[in-house]
Amino acid sequence: DAGVTQSPTHLIKTRGQQVTLRCSPKSGHDTVSWYQQALGQGPQFIFQYYEEEERQRGNFPDRFSGHQFPNYSSELNVNALLLGDSALYLCASSLGGRGGTEAFFGQGTRLTVV
């Protein structure tokens, strides 16, 4: 039973570029949430996808967008990258639109913007 998988694991981008991160949820899970974790801090909620729709969004600009596919996998897109976007991006999967109960996390994508 595969857990949450994210790709790529590491990424280096230049300021102004665009990036797409991918996530496959744990088998049987239908809800995907994305978090940004800066070094030495707790994760910050970006948004949640359930039934292919963005259900709730954290305090992130419109440069951050996402998508959920019929197979429940998800993508996070970030446009016009800033140095401050450098962080670990975590995908969490859960069930039934609930994002807080026993959310399982992938290993994350380490994004470095130079």
Partner 1 sequence: GQSLEQPSEVTAVEGAIVQINCTYQTSGFYGLSWYQQHDGGAPTFLSYNALDGLEETGRFSSFLSRSDSYGYLLLQELQMKDSASYFCAQDSNYQLIWGAGTKLIIKP
Q: Which residues bind partner 1 (CB under 8 A)?
A: 33, 35, 40-45, 48, 55-56, 58, 90, 92, 97-108
CB of 35 to partner 1, least distance (A): 8
CB of 73 to partner 1, least distance (A): 17
CB of 55 to partner 1, least distance (A): 6
Given phi > 0 = left and psi -120 to 50 = alpha, else beta, which region is 27? beta
Helix residue ranges per DSSP H, 1-114: none
Where would I find the beta strands (DSSP E) of 1-114?
5-7, 10-13, 19-24, 31-37, 44-50, 53-57, 64-68, 74-78, 87-94, 104-105, 109-113
Q: Distance between CA 4 and CA 70 in Å, rounded?
A: 16
Closer by beta carbon to partner 1, 63 or else 98: 98
CB of 99 to partner 1, least distance (A): 5
Closer by beta carbon to partner 1, 54 or else 75: 54
Closer by beta carbon to partner 1, 67 or else 110: 110
